[in-house]
Structure 1
Amino acid sequence: MLKSYLKNVYEIASRGDATEVSYYSTLENLFKVYSETINKTDVYITSLPKKTEAGNPDFRIWDGKQHIVGYIEAKSPEVDNLDSIEDSEQLERYRRTFPNLILTNFFEFRLYRNGTLIDKVLIGRPFIVHKLKTVPPVEKKADFLKLLERFFSFSLPRVYDAETLAIELAKRTRFLKDEIVTQKLKEEESIGKGFISGFYEAFRKYLISGLSKEEFANLYSQTVTYGLFAARTRSENGFNRKLAYDNIPHTIGLLRDVFKFISLGDLPQQMEWVIDDISEVLAVTDVKNILHQYFHEGKGKDPIVHFYETFLAEYDPQTREKRGVYYTPE
């Protein structure tokens, strides 16, 4: 498996005109072959076809339905030192947001769990490809297989309390706002049209006429996350992004319009990945226990509204304090 992989990497590098994306199919095949050796036939490896300003990791490993194994961020094989990449602002954002992440230059693989480096393996020497112009021998095969085993065995822990859920949703919502919605608005502004721009105009027309683009990115991202939470509280048999629309109350027209696109529309991959990630957090959440927690604290009249304040305290505490909204047990 690794011998063939390194041979393919060498052959691509030998062409002389290879870019980072040129190696994607080889990396995809490596992970696919490994998943088959451990009898995980329901593994899908999808990659973003091109670099955009909207910043997601390059690969997502998932089961094609709901469960997300993790993400991979790839850098060019010409990058022979991943230390500088590890400390970059981009990687820090990914490490804060995605709990199971691999960073690689196609030779070295670094595995991060909840932002912390827990394993790294160098399977071949880059200089042998770039300087000696030959296929490097395989190194540390057993260690690499252990790293992959740790990566593929990951699953989100079940969430039982409102505070933990608020933390997990807040960091993903910030990523959605800063890296996806804000950047998509900029991209669409340059071409004069787009689905996010359409929602921006709708929010200005029907909600807040003087809404700035920065305020919209914030409001839209919160709307997506909180709409998913509201839908999850009404979902009985499983939950994912595509099921959300069926569980949005018919009385909230604009929210249903947003989720008609999110659940049923053709989402850009960058947005799809993050919203799927938020949905999986909610799927493994014991919503009944959280609602019971609010009832126990005397907040049972509208626990969904009360959770919003818990979420806002984590996501944007300045706004929460400015509004002066604090709930205490009755």
Structure 2
Amino acid sequence: MTLEHYIERIDERYQFGNATEHTFRGDLQQLLESLVPTIRATNEPKRQKCGAPDYILTKKDIPVGFIEAKDIGDTDLEGKKKTGNKEQFDRYKASLNNLIFTDYINFHLYRGGQFVTKIAIGELTESGIKPLPANFESFENLVKDFCTHIGQTIKSPKRLAELMAGKARLLSDIIGKALSSDEVNEEDSTLKDQMVAFKDILIHDITPNGFADVYAQTIAYGMFAARLHDPTLESFNRQEAAELIPKSNPFLRKLFGYIAGPDIDDRIKWVVENLSEIFLACNVEQILKNYGKSTKMEDPIIHFYETFLSEYDPKLRKSRGVWYTPQPVVNFIVRAVDEILKTEFCLPQGLADTSKTNIKVKPTINRQTLQG
């Protein structure tokens, strides 16, 4: 499909007077796949209720870009005017590295949450949609670049935490909405069965949103741990992550067995695959090489969780008390307690002592007795 044909098609549908933003989706899909035959532009409306963008552009099953489409003539392609739009735009910009917002004739490109450029291939007039052929070549170049974009290599712990947190929030949102929905389907049932099992084994009073939060964090941090132990930096995906999870953590292995398999919920599959792209763009071991040395933290993979959680949900970090004490302070506390056990409680082996000792306690006066 040429751009001329595309403008003719959407103008014809627009002239009917009863078109919505969904009316033009097939036309845009055909245009994108015509301009870049190596990509697939997948449009799955069922994902909308969970907050996913309208189009996912993939190359060899790997997501390379995302497009959110609004109705023709929508003047809020920056998400500044409408409250609902702003929340959605902010979430997408924070979570999706390569993103276009469009009303089918105006296209706004964002990378890493930052506005890059915009281009119009048509304009809305009283008589319909007028093509802007002077912009056609620039638009084709933009689309081709959009479909071949490779994110910059991630080199800092903070940037990695930011990107992980963005994907985890998106996962949590999708899972929470699916579990809270009144509609029940096979996919929802699978997630709900997992939540029931989680409640039986670990947290009995957990809510759907609480489970979604734990689930999303587990996936994000599990993939982080897997990538740290990945000997092949040139490749990484959800299946490889499942194989790298140690057998010493059966819960995590079972969860990744689910997300790596063919039965993974389609609503979270694209996010997990996009998350794997983040880890493919970094060497986690190198990033954590000097992490925590200034505060004498000897296990960076554990202490990195504080950085991750501060990006994912600062309030949650505070409520859970995720604040790590520098190693020298911990060593001092341990030595002090060990010495007190030896000198004051007559336990010669200190913290390692398994014997018992009698402690004399001074009697206290009962206030009720005095009052009587």
TMscore range, shorter length: 0.7 to 0.9
1:163-174 matches, within 5 Å, as 163-174=158-169
Counterpart residue identity of residue 316, structure 1: D
Equivalents in 1 of 2:315, 2:242: separation in Å? 31
Equivalents in 1 of 2:288, 2:75: separation in Å? 48
RMSD: 2.5
Equivalents in 1 of 2:95, 2:107: separation in Å? 19
1:71-150 matches, within 5 Å, as 71-77=66-72, 79-83=73-77, 85=79, 87=81, 88=85, 89-127=87-125, 131-132=126-127, 136=131, 138-150=133-145
Identity of aligned pairs, percent?
A: 32
Counterpart residue identity of residue 60, structure 2: G
Cα distance, 1:262 vs structure 2? 0.7
1:119–1:147 contact (8 Å) kept in structure 2: no
Equivalenced residues, count: 317
Equivalents in 2 of 1:304, 1:206: separation in Å? 26
Report the equivalent of 1:176: 171
Counterpart residue identity of residue 56, structure 1: A
Report the equivalent of 1:229: 224
Report the equivalent of 2:40: 44
Find out whether 1:258 has 2:255 as its counterpart.
yes
Find out whether 1:311 has 2:324 as its counterpart.
no
2:78–2:89 contact (8 Å) kept in structure 1: no
Equivalents in 2 of 1:17, 1:207: separation in Å? 52
Cα distance, 1:306 vs structure 2? 2.1
Report the TM-score, using the length of structure 2 for normalisation. Answer: 0.77
- Among 55, 61, 65, the residue aligned to 1:59: 55
Equivalents in 2 of 1:30, 1:209: separation in Å? 50
Q: Which moved more, 1:17-26 or 1:1-10?
A: 17-26
Report the equivalent of 2:179: 185
Deviations 1:44-77 (A, max 9, x none): 22222335420011111222243x3211001122
Cα distance, 1:133 vs structure 2? 5.3
Higher Cα radius of gyration: 2
Structure with more contact order per residue of length (Cα contacts < 8 Å, sep ≥ 6): 1
Equivalents in 1 of 2:17, 2:326: separation in Å? 65
Equivalents in 2 of 1:15, 1:329: separation in Å? 70
Cα distance, 1:304 vs structure 2? 2.4
- Summarize the Cα distance change of 1:242–1:17 in structure 2 as closer, same or farther, 3 Å threshold: farther
Give the secondary-structure state (helix, strand or coil) at the position aligned to 1:182: helix
- Summarize the Cα distance change of 1:149–1:86 in structure 2 as closer, same or farther, 3 Å threshold: farther
Equivalents in 1 of 2:156, 2:132: separation in Å? 49
Equivalents in 1 of 2:322, 2:31: separation in Å? 53
Deviations 1:263-308 (A, max 9, x none): 10333333112111211111111112034224856544x4322222
Give the secondary-structure state (helix, strand or coil) at the position aligned to 1:53: helix
Find out whether 1:30 has 2:31 as its counterpart.
yes
Cα distance, 1:313 vs structure 2? 2.6
Report the equivalent of 2:340: none
Equivalents in 2 of 1:93, 1:314: separation in Å? 13
- Among 271, 276, 280, the residue aligned to 2:273: 276
Q: Which moved more, 1:226-235 or 1:136-145?
A: 136-145
Equivalents in 1 of 2:79, 2:197: separation in Å? 39
Cα distance, 1:136 vs structure 2? 4.1
- Summarize the Cα distance change of 1:136–1:230 in structure 2 as closer, same or farther, 3 Å threshold: same
- Summarize the Cα distance change of 1:28–1:253 in structure 2 as closer, same or farther, 3 Å threshold: same
Please list every run of at least 4 consecutive aligned residues from structure 1 whose deviation after the TM superposition is greater than 6 angstroms: none
Equivalents in 2 of 1:217, 1:13: separation in Å? 40
Equivalents in 1 of 2:159, 2:130: separation in Å? 48
Equivalents in 2 of 1:81, 1:31: separation in Å? 22
Equivalents in 2 of 1:318, 1:82: separation in Å? 31
- Summarize the Cα distance change of 1:84–1:101 in structure 2 as closer, same or farther, 3 Å threshold: closer
Equivalents in 2 of 1:115, 1:30: separation in Å? 25
Counterpart residue identity of residue 124, structure 1: G
Report the equivalent of 1:13: 14
Runs (5+) with no aligned partner, structure 1: none
Report the TM-score, using the length of structure 1 for normalisation. Answer: 0.86
Deviations 1:185-209 (A, max 9, x none): 122x442851221121111111111
- Summarize the Cα distance change of 1:85–1:295 in structure 2 as closer, same or farther, 3 Å threshold: closer
